[in-house]
Protein backbone atom coordinates (compact mmCIF):
# COMPACT_ATOMS: atom_id res chain seq x y z
CA UNK A 1 0.00 0.00 0.00
CA UNK A 2 1.41 3.40 -0.95
CA UNK A 3 1.32 6.08 1.77
CA UNK A 4 3.28 9.16 2.77
CA UNK A 5 4.64 10.11 6.17
CA UNK A 6 2.44 13.21 6.01
CA UNK A 7 -0.65 10.94 5.84
CA UNK A 8 0.55 8.66 8.62
CA UNK A 9 1.51 11.58 10.87
CA UNK A 10 -1.91 13.16 10.36
CA UNK A 11 -3.59 9.81 11.16
CA UNK A 12 -1.57 9.58 14.38
CA UNK A 13 -2.39 13.19 15.28
CA UNK A 14 -6.12 12.43 14.84
CA UNK A 15 -5.73 9.33 16.99
CA UNK A 16 -4.16 11.50 19.73
CA UNK A 17 -6.75 14.26 19.24
CA UNK A 18 -3.67 16.48 18.83
CA UNK A 19 -4.76 19.82 17.40
CA UNK A 20 -1.71 21.65 18.73
CA UNK A 21 0.52 23.38 16.16
CA UNK A 22 3.57 21.71 14.65
CA UNK A 23 6.57 23.44 16.20
CA UNK A 24 9.54 21.80 14.47
CA UNK A 25 10.64 18.83 12.38
CA UNK A 26 13.73 17.10 11.07
CA UNK A 27 15.25 16.80 8.60
CA UNK A 28 14.97 20.40 7.43
CA UNK A 29 15.21 21.22 3.73
CA UNK A 30 14.09 17.77 2.58
CA UNK A 31 10.38 18.01 3.40
CA UNK A 32 9.17 17.03 -0.08
CA UNK A 33 11.30 13.87 -0.17
CA UNK A 34 10.69 12.89 3.44
CA UNK A 35 7.07 13.80 4.19
CA UNK A 36 5.37 13.78 0.76
CA UNK A 37 7.16 10.95 -1.06
CA UNK A 38 4.94 7.85 -1.39
CA UNK A 39 6.36 4.56 -0.12
CA UNK A 40 5.12 1.02 0.54
CA UNK A 41 4.64 0.67 4.30
CA UNK A 42 3.83 -3.04 4.12
CA UNK A 43 6.05 -5.92 5.13
CA UNK A 44 9.45 -6.38 3.55
CA UNK A 45 11.96 -3.70 4.39
CA UNK A 46 11.73 -0.11 5.57
CA UNK A 47 11.22 2.34 2.69
CA UNK A 48 10.18 5.52 4.52
CA UNK A 49 12.81 8.10 5.42
CA UNK A 50 13.72 8.78 9.04
CA UNK A 51 12.08 11.84 10.61
CA UNK A 52 10.92 13.43 13.84
CA UNK A 53 8.10 15.98 14.23
CA UNK A 54 7.34 18.01 17.35
CA UNK A 55 3.91 19.48 18.00
CA UNK A 56 3.27 21.44 21.18
CA UNK A 57 1.91 18.30 22.86
CA UNK A 58 3.49 15.27 21.12
CA UNK A 59 6.61 13.95 19.42
CA UNK A 60 6.06 11.86 16.26
CA UNK A 61 8.58 9.36 14.87
CA UNK A 62 8.77 6.34 12.53
CA UNK A 63 8.30 2.81 13.81
CA UNK A 64 9.18 -0.36 11.95
CA UNK A 65 8.45 -3.95 12.87
CA UNK A 66 9.18 -6.87 10.55
CA UNK A 67 9.40 -4.41 7.65
CA UNK A 68 6.00 -2.77 8.23
CA UNK A 69 6.17 0.97 8.96
CA UNK A 70 3.89 3.40 10.77
CA UNK A 71 4.03 6.58 12.80
CA UNK A 72 4.37 6.40 16.56
CA UNK A 73 4.10 9.16 19.11
CA UNK A 74 4.75 10.06 22.72
CA UNK A 75 3.53 12.99 24.81
CA UNK A 76 6.02 15.82 25.22
CA UNK A 77 5.07 16.27 28.87
CA UNK A 78 4.79 13.48 31.42
CA UNK A 79 1.20 12.18 31.26
CA UNK A 80 1.60 10.08 34.43
CA UNK A 81 0.01 7.25 32.46
CA UNK A 82 1.86 4.28 30.95
CA UNK A 83 2.45 4.10 27.20
CA UNK A 84 1.51 1.01 25.20
CA UNK A 85 4.31 -1.06 23.68
CA UNK A 86 5.74 0.50 20.53
CA UNK A 87 6.89 -1.49 17.52
CA UNK A 88 4.31 -4.26 17.37
CA UNK A 89 5.02 -7.76 18.45
In a domain, 81, yes or no: no
In a domain, 85, yes or no: no
The predicted-structure confidence for 66-79, as pLDDT tens digits, reads as follows: 889 999 999 999 87
The predicted-structure confidence for 13-56, as pLDDT tens digits, reads as follows: 999 999 999 999 999 999 899 999 999 998 888 899 999 999 99
User: How many independent structural domains does the chain possess?
Assistant: 1
Domain that holds residue 31: 2-75
Residue 64 makes CB contacts below 8 A (sequence gap 6+) with 46, 87
Name which of 16, 61, 64 is nearest 34 in CA terms: 61
Cα gap 88→80, rounded to integer Å: 22
Dihedrals φ, ψ of 13, to 5°? -60, -45
In a domain, 18, yes or no: yes
In a domain, 87, yes or no: no
Amino acid sequence: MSVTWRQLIEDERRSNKDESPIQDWAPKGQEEDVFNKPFDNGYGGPEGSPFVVWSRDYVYFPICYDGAEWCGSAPRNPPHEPLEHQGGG
